[in-house]
Chains A and B, each alone.
Chain A
């Protein structure tokens, strides 16, 4: 008998034992197997390997055979000069991206929603998504075109005004702003989608009623659109704070260079250099694990809060 009808005939309290139920769904389990194997090998095996954070990993001895050293690597990191610097850079860059990234996205969503020029809206929408799909390597090329001291457009402008050109990508004073603003340039159009969707789900009758009552367009935005965005805004901010330790590894990996390590180095880039380039596997793993644990707590808390305040959540 086929499984679905058997189930509907027998109801949920059917006599099938667990083994028989599992056998009934064997094809589904077979389908699930490759995906599960993927997660076991590439996501759970690394968890096992993470024990080298508490060991002195030597490649010849392997993960299991290397001697235990307890919390030494964590202590080394926390007492090192890097700890404060990396944490500060990571948090400053992340927070600036949130603070400077969300307002333009909301503005853009409101403008796209309010404009009566549909063609303009469509063109702006199409074009503003585009940078989201460009690799950071390509954006690095674009930034060179805009910011390079010799040929960059911005520095041409500075020279035309009689000012000294600024080496934006290699100066400690300008590197963080470049990281933050290039992220804003790349992602504003894309982040606006969620806000725009929220605006489109507002009942149009509210706007009509407000207009009849004599509300100006600005008052409609202020009292209908903005409150209508609050849920999504809270959700977006909370989830971004949940992943605040991810300050943009791929971006900074491409953009930074030795002269700006002091302001551009974040936890992830440091882990990469210590681990892959300097072969400090255990130390790098310890720092990565520290980041992963804090990240886990943050995202779980953020998700709880999001569910409480907005009723929706990430998972």
Chain B
């Protein structure tokens, strides 16, 4: 990008910059690498940064993969993640589009009402009481609905809709399309990148969500993967995940780290898309009217 200069000071500068970047890489990756190494640890060995391939044991993975509890939790996570994205994206698009139309009477009032909830939060307990009074405790609706719309995502989407050329919508209206048809046939097809970005924002948040399930759900069979992972890591309810006899086969540490790896894997699989669209989302979000 920049022309290389030959002065010794500049060479030192470049070297230290590159060294720093390598340092960042090492600091980021060593913990992840070490987690994988522990997860492959055979019984009776102590962990090290470099475990020889002939020492690898997949016993911990085998124990976890054959646990019905894990699969049920994975299914729960899938339902909460995909269901959550569907609900959140629908509500966000439907609210963002009208609010992106400057001529809508009362628009500022509605934006103000929504923005206020971003600035002031009544707190955990009053919200908990709402979910309780609606009879949603211990159902998925509590988790799916309580965090359904993020004000930030809504405003990013609204900003994006406002940036679309008005002439296209105008043309569709002259052809007799109503607002619904304009949204569906003109606006949404142009909004694929932002839909993917916001969809991924919601998806990642849902996949990682552990607090709301703990707060609202009490039935253990409804718990998603992060809650199960927390239990495995803290040694809670371990009997549910590992049978007493099989616990001899893999060290407890290996079991914990294998669980960390298994739950991280799905995230790694979609990471290329996340990386591509998230950075865009952040930058769109930072551009204000």
Contacts and interface: CB of A to CB of B under 8 A. Distances in A.
Q: Do A and B come from one complex?
A: yes
Nearest to A296: B120
Interface residues of A, number: 103
B172 to A, nearest CB: 10
Which of the four size classes fits the interface of chain B?
A: 35 or more
Nearest to B257: A145
B262 to A, nearest CB: 11
B179 A35 contact: no
A268 B173 CA distance: 50
Nearest to B183: A31
Interface string A111-130: 11011111011011011111
Interface stretch (B15-23, B57-65, B241-249): B15-23
Contacts of B29: 127
A92 interface: no
B178 A27 contact: yes
Contacts of B210: 135-137, 250, 254
Contacts of B233: 137, 140-141, 144
Do most interface residues of chain B lie in helix, strand or loop, or is the interface mixed?
Answer: helix
A116 B174 contact: no
Contacts of A144: 233, 256
Interface string B57-87: 0000000000000000000000000000000
Contacts, number: 293
A116 B28 contact: no
Interface in B93-117: 94-95, 97-99, 101, 103-106, 110, 113-115, 117
A18 B105 contact: yes
B279 A133 contact: no
21 contacts: A18-B105, A22-B106, A31-B97, A35-B149, A35-B154, A39-B114, A43-B117, A49-B125, A49-B130, A108-B21, A112-B21, A121-B21, A124-B21, A133-B274, A134-B208, A138-B264, A142-B35, A145-B260, A153-B31, A211-B3, A275-B124
Interface of A: 2-5, 7, 18, 21-22, 25, 27-29, 31-32, 34-36, 38-39, 41-50, 52, 63, 107-108, 110-112, 114-118, 120-121, 123-124, 126-131, 133-138, 140-142, 144-146, 148, 150-151, 153, 156, 185, 188-189, 193-194, 197, 207, 211, 216-218, 249-250, 253-254, 268, 271-272, 275-276, 281, 284-285, 288-289, 291-293, 295-296, 299-300, 312-313, 315
